[in-house]
């Protein structure tokens, strides 16, 4: 009987999201693909330093316990060539990442392989790949490789923070705000407080994380946060939407337009997802962050 990833949280990730390959990428962009490939071959025995999503991946994989069914699968999905792939697998082994599967397309867009993988998340430093993955219906974010590394202060807890509109929820309300202003937005949401917001691109990931949390692993847990520019009275619709989904989040921050970076620094997520570049750039100064190219803010 063939292997299957059914029932597992599946994360597809590019090499530059998992490891710090910025120096090698500069060679690729400024010299040539051949020079890049040779550099990776020359550094085959040099363990690559951790990248922005390294902490997130390592902690998620810690949900897999010896002798038990696997709960999480991480698959390398990369534009790299197979030769460069050897260094990626070696670096994963040396840094304690039990990476087993990988797809290397040598320059071709790899997002099409998300479907047979059944991926719940795709992280990449390539904006085009992320856009196409989102368009195909997969939660995906462009990793800001300049982000600071995650804190090591909570080794047995995966912390993930999400923006609301255009990320967990659709951009329905955001469109009202963009076209008519704050007062109209508040009125729109107050009048529809009992109506659930339509699903956003990252609802499937939040649902998968919720299922993973229900596995009740004694060694690892997940802590989620909704970090949104909403404030009262627009708060109620967001909370009621999560209740209708039967999904709980641990923390909700209704910031009413305050800059998110400082609050995220206190939450210490292993990753934060937002659709607006201003929020993502601010967050990246404090925590690992990714841009979700979704909604009216990203035409």
Residues 119 and 214 in one domain: no
End position of a domain, from candidates 98, 121, 143: 143
pLDDT for 278 beyond 90: yes
Question: What is the model's pLDDT at position 169?
Answer: 96
Residue 298 lies in a domain: no
| pTM exceeds cut of 0.85 | yes
Residues 54 and 29 in one domain: yes
Residue 226 lies in a domain: yes
Residues 131 and 163 in one domain: no
Going from the C-alpha of 260 to that of each of 14, 59, 222, 287, the distances in angstroms are 26, 24, 21, 11
pLDDT for 283 beyond 90: yes
Average pLDDT, the chain: 93
Report the half-sphere exposure of 169 (CA within 13 A, side-chain side): 26
Copy the structure tokens of residue 280: 């993502």
Residues 110 and 197 in one domain: no
End position of a domain, from candidates 143, 177, 207: 143
The CATH number given to whatever domain includes residue 120 is 3.40.50.1000
Q: Return the number of other C-beta atoms located less than 10 Å from residue 247's C-beta.
A: 17
Residues 182 and 206 in one domain: yes
Residue 131 lies in a domain: yes
Residues 111 and 222 in one domain: no
Residues 161 and 132 in one domain: no
Percentages (nearest 5) of helix, strand, coil residues in the chain? 40, 20, 45
Over residues 98-121, the mean pLDDT reads 93
Residue 2 lies in a domain: no
Residues 166 and 282 in one domain: yes
Over residues 2-19, the mean pLDDT reads 92
pLDDT for 1 beyond 60: no
Of 129, 163, 171, 275, catalytic: 163
Residues 165 and 89 in one domain: no
Over residues 82-108, the mean pLDDT reads 94
Residue 149 lies in a domain: no
Range of the structural domain that residue 81 is part of = 9-143
pLDDT for 11 beyond 90: yes
Per residue in 147-180, pLDDT (tens digit) is 999 988 899 999 999 999 999 999 988 898 888 8
Residues 237 and 133 in one domain: no
Going from the C-alpha of 194 to that of each of 44, 175, 234, 242, the distances in angstroms are 57, 19, 11, 12
Question: What is the model's pLDDT at position 68?
Answer: 87
Over residues 77-81, the mean pLDDT reads 91
Question: Catalytic site residue 163?
Answer: yes
Question: What is the model's pLDDT at position 173?
Answer: 87
Per residue in 119-142, pLDDT (tens digit) is 999 999 999 999 999 999 999 999
Residue 120 lies in a domain: yes
End position of a domain, from candidates 143, 170, 203: 143
Q: Which helix (H) or strand (E) holds 219?
A: none
3-state secondary structure of 225: strand
CA 178 to chain centre: 25
Over residues 26-30, the mean pLDDT reads 94
Q: Strand runs (DSSP E) across 79-215, as ranges? A: 101-104, 121-124, 140-143, 157-162
Say how far apart CA 9 and CA 133 lie, in whole Å.
Answer: 17
Over residues 239-248, the mean pLDDT reads 95
Copy the structure tokens of residue 277: 């570049």
Number of domains in the chain: 2
Residues 53 and 29 in one domain: yes
In the structure, what pLDDT confidence band is assigned to residue 2 with cuts at 50, 70 and 90? Answer: low
Residues 120 and 180 in one domain: no
Per residue in 189-243, pLDDT (tens digit) is 889 899 999 999 999 999 999 999 988 788 899 999 999 999 888 899 999 999 9
Residue 55 lies in a domain: yes
Residue 71 lies in a domain: yes
In contact, 234 and 185? CB cutoff 8 Å: yes
Question: What is the model's pLDDT at position 288?
Answer: 98
């Amino acid at each position: 009987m063939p292997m299957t990833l059914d029932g597992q949280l599946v994360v597809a990730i590019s090499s530059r999201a998992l490891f710090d390959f910025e120096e090698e990428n500069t060679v690729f962009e400024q010299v040539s693909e051949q020079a890049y490939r040779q550099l990776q071959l020359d550094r085959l025995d040099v363990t690559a330093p951790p990248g922005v999503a390294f902490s997130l991946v390592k902690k998620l994989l810690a949900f897999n316990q010896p002798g038990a069914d696997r709960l999480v699968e991480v698959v390398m999905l990369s534009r790299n060539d197979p030769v460069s792939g050897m260094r990626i697998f070696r670096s994963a082994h040396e840094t304690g990442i039990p990476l087993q599967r990988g797809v290397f397309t040598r320059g071709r867009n790899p997002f099409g392989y998300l479907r047979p993988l059944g991926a719940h998340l795709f992280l990449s430093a390539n904006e085009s790949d992320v856009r196409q993955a989102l368009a195909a219906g997969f939660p995906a974010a462009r990793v800001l490789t300049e982000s600071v590394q995650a804190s090591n202060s909570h080794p047995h807890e995966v912390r993930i923070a999400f923006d609301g509109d255009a990320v967990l929820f659709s951009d329905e309300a955001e469109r009202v705000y963009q076209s008519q202003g704050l007062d109209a937005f508040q009125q729109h949401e107050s009048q529809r407080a009992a109506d659930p917001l339509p699903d956003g691109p990252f609802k499937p990931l939040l649902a998968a994380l919720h299922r993973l949390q229900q596995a009740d692993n004694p060694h690892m847990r997940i802590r989620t946060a909704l970090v949104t520019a909403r404030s009262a009275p627009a708060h109620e619709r967001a909370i009621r939407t999560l209740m209708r989904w039967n999904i709980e989040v641990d923390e909700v921050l209704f910031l009413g337009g305050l800059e998110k970076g400082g609050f995220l620094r206190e939450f210490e997520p292993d990753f934060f997802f937002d659709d607006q570049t201003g929020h993502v750039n601010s967050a990246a100064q404090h925590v690992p962050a990714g841009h979700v190219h979704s909604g009216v803010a990203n035409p």
